[in-house]
Amino acid sequence: MDGELCRMCGGDGRVGNALGGSTATCPSCHGSGRRADTSARFRDVTKTKPSHHHTAEAAPKGPRGPVTPEGTQLAAEVSASAILPEDAKTRLLAEIINHESTHGRCTKTFLKKIRKQTRPAQ
């Protein structure tokens, strides 16, 4: 038979149970001990039509800012904060947008958490 040795059974044509005792015909080579040449039987049919070769459109990146009234107000408070550096403001705005996308709206606990970060230390 043509082909190289089966990788699963090592050319034996049979595979054994991990616990010992029983053996069975190799499911990969069907007992022949050799891998069949599959290159003649199968062909790649993906992207064979010209209509399949169009470029994929870029997916929207999501909202660029908060969309709920609570989120918009919170974003305005973060932007107006005099004690926060610009990188912290950017991080908090991204956190607000992410929270809205996962929870649907800003929860009271989240509002308290963000507002606590925008207040000056006492």
- pLDDT (tens, 9 = 90+) of the chain, 122 residues, equals 456 888 888 888 888 877 777 888 888 888 888 876 655 556 666 666 666 666 666 656 666 788 899 999 999 999 998 888 999 999 999 999 999 988 888 889 999 999 998 887 76
Domain ranges of the chain: 1-37, 69-118
Provide the pLDDT for residue 32: 85
pTM: 0.48
Report yes or no: 24 and 12 within 8 Å, Cβ to Cβ: no
Beta strand extents in 1-122 (DSSP E only): 14-16, 23-25
Report yes or no: 110 and 95 within 8 Å, Cβ to Cβ: no
d(CA 15, CA 17): 7
Q: Which residue has the tokens 């991080």?
A: 91
Longest dimension (CA), the chain: 83
Chain mean position to CA 19: 37
Report, in angstroms and rounded to the nearest whole number, the Rg of the chain calculated over CA atoms. 31
